[in-house]
Amino acid sequence: MLVIPAIDIRGGKCVRLTQGDYKREKIYLDCPCDMAIVWRKQNAKMLHLVDLDAAKTGKLENFAEIKRIVETLDIPIEVGGGIRSLDSAKAYFDIGVYRVVIGSAAVTNPKLVEELLALYGPKKVVVGIDAENGVPKVHGWLEGAAMSDVELGLKMKALGVERVIYTDISKDGALAGVGYDAIKRFAENAKLRVTASGGVSSYKDLTQLATLAPLVDSVIIGKALYEETFPCQKLWHLCEKEMSIDTNFSTASMRPCASA
């Protein structure tokens, strides 16, 4: 089970939302790149970045911050949030992003998914299905789609999509446990490779998700890592005294972005 730390960027800062609510935001670090360095120091093999501003506007609002992370780290980076055109996807690939995540556009413009798959292939293009009670949400989780999550998954599969990042919105950022039932239902019906997301709060959640292998083979974790709900994190930090940035994730100790 590959664990992928998430970095959500809003207004140029590293934040986390609760259940996708932009009014329930917590800022963890002023510089997302510093956060990316922390996760890499803790041996992350991949990072998941989301431009939350772009998810609402459709414009690459935090492109500069994402570019800096890609140029700084030596691991694959996947990016989602507001990618609704070929030009947006190309802009990310041109700076070295490993793969893009298509969310709202998979519902509103499936032709884009088809075109991206033709240009870059299924390893470089994945679809993000963020669902609440089985209904996909789009445009920053502000609107519901006129189809079920499984229907959307099967539609994407027919186009050539091989992987979906599935988020149970009701669990996201709540630290109340992963949306196991929703993920299991989707994976078994869509028969796609699934990266699970939303609600992971403990090692028990990871072991539970592992029972869904091989369909579910990876998991994106956000708030649980930031809030240090995994005891092993404290051991990691003891070995990081040589780091140039603060690794205490309390908001009181966060430092401004270091100069480039």
Q: Of 51, 53, 130, 172, which one is the catalytic site residue?
A: 130
Cβ 11 vs Cβ 31: under 8 Å: no
**Band of pLDDT at residue 145, cut at 50, 70 and 90:** confident
* 8 is known as an active-site residue: yes
CB 205 within 8 Å of CB 199 = yes
CB within 8 Å of 75: residues ≥ 6 apart: 40, 44, 45, 46, 47
Question: What percent of the chain clears pLDDT 70, i.e. is strictly above it?
Answer: 82
Domains and CATH numbers, the chain: 2-246 (3.20.20.70)
Is 236 a residue whose pLDDT tops 90? no
- Return the DSSP state at 252: G
Q: Enter the tokens of residue 155.
A: 């539609």
Which residue among 8, 51, 172, 205 is the active-site one?
8
* pLDDT 10s digits, 32-86: 999 999 999 888 999 999 999 998 888 999 999 999 999 999 999 999 999 999 9
* Active-site residue flag, 87: no
What predicted TM-score, i.e. pTM, was given to this entire model? 0.85
Which residue, 46, 102, 101, is CA-closest to 77? 46
